[in-house]
Amino acid sequence: MTARLADTISGLFLIILAVVAGVAAQYLPTTIAKEFAGPSFMPTLLSIALAVCGAGIVVQARSLPPTDRMPGWFEADRAGAVRIAVVAAATAAYNLLLEPLGYLIVTFAFLVFMLFYLKVSWFLNLIISLIATVSTYALFVIWLKVVLPMGLLEFYF
């Protein structure tokens, strides 16, 4: 990925985002009770500003040398991309299952999976997962009185 291409893509994305936000802002009331700057005022103004910045990024990208690579981009590190995708999917699954299954079950399963995926030995994996799950439960629920979803274990806690 060259720096010019990256900036062009991201600049265009910002312009599109600004247009969508600007159009959505037009559905808001312009003024309320003779107010001089109604609910749509700031979103509209900011959408315009964002679009201008996006355009500035695109225009500035044209002055970059076409062969300059984007710093920080790996050439083709599939292993890294797969690691990120797996961790992101695990985090999304955690979010989805937290309320139906409950904090204790989902957290333990999440930690076991993550430590297994990152090649931590089974013994250490189970110890760490158990200690982390129980200690965070004790810290947040028992000490700090935070309400966490118990899901399937609701009748026991």
Distance from C-alpha of 100 to C-alpha of 151, rounded to nearest angstrom:
5
List 16, 62, 69, 83, residue binding another protein (CB under 8 A): 83
Q: If we measure between CA atoms, which residue out of 49, 148, 43, 48 comes closest to residue 105? A: 148
- Choose which of 23, 92, 134, 138 interacts with another protein (CB under 8 A): 92
Q: Any idea how long the chain is? A: 157
Least distance in Å: CB of 152 to another protein?
17
Give the separation between CA 46 and CA 103, rounded to whole angstroms.
40
Rule CB under 8 A: is residue 70 a binding residue for another protein? yes
d(CA 30, CA 1): 43
Considering only residues 115-144, where is the footprint of another protein by CB under 8 A?
A: 115, 118-120, 124, 128, 132, 136, 139-140, 144
Across 9-87, the runs of DSSP E, i.e. the strands, are: none
Cβ-contact 7, 32 below 8 angstroms: no
Q: Which one, 95 or 156, has the nearer CB to another protein?
A: 95
Question: Both ends of the chain: CA-CA distance in Å?
Answer: 52
Q: From the list 10, 12, 105, 109, which residue makes contact with another protein (rule: CB under 8 A)? A: 10
* Helix (H) and strand (E) counts in the chain: 5, 0
> Footprint of another protein on this chain (CB under 8 A)?
3, 6-7, 9-10, 14, 17, 21, 24, 28-29, 32-33, 35-39, 42-43, 46-47, 49-50, 53-54, 56-57, 60, 70-74, 77, 79-81, 83-84, 87-88, 91-92, 94-95, 98-99, 107, 110-111, 114-115, 118-120, 124, 128, 132, 136, 139-140, 144-148
